[in-house]
Structure 1
């Protein structure tokens, strides 16, 4: 008969430890994931692409006179919005691939996407 500790068998503890290890490893890898020099900021309004902007280029983008997105020092934040709750404005700045800021009342989504190195054609060389 297997010995139980806290109501769990030995194999249950091994399985729980393995799941915990995989979760910590996945979280750690996500934290280490950085943006590359070709990352871009993608803005969508009502599910439609509004525009793509380079993360490394500081600029302020006015989105339909409702939201103001600020790209500065490799980070993106919602500078201003006319929504009542201001959750998107109070959200921390994002800087990693896959992170998003969402303004639900204005249906605006700001996401950082890992870009690809631009191809140089033979004429440009």
Structure 2
């Protein structure tokens, strides 16, 4: 490989690292957790208040320190329990056997993503 190849590879890696850092560091802190069961909204809960939510008879969600974590589930695979706590807009925890989805959202104010003519 020539010197120019190394420079090109270095520039590409630098741009990729800057883009990844931008997206990771600018994620908006969420303000609420929305729980849906079977596609229907079960409840909306503030992440500012520490609480434990029993979701029907199959799941227990714990909200603490601005993060939501599935604390307990009666499903056989326990994948939802082993997922990390979520706190940023767009993150979610999914319990497929019980059809429970916990997603975090920002403020209820509409944020403009773009304008299309």
Q: TM-score with structure 2 length normalisation?
A: 0.76
Match of 2:68 among 60, 76, 94: 76
> Which consecutive unaligned segments of at least 5 residues does structure 2 have?
110-117
Match of 1:116 among 90, 108, 111: 108
How many residues end up aligned between the 2 structures? 108
Aligned-residue CA RMSD (Å): 2.5
Match of 2:28 in 1: 34
Structure 1 residue 24, shift from structure 2 partner = 3.5
Structure 1 residue 54, shift from structure 2 partner = 0.5
> Which consecutive unaligned segments of at least 5 residues does structure 1 have?
118-125
SS in 1 for 2:71: strand
Over 2 Å off, 4+ runs: 16-27
Q: Could you list the per-position Cα deviations for residues 60-109 of structure 1 after superposition, in whole angstroms to 9, with x for gaps in the alignment?
A: 11111100000000011000000000011011111111111110111111
Structure 1 residue 114, shift from structure 2 partner = 0.7
Contact kept in structure 1, 2:28 and 2:106, CA below 8 Å: no
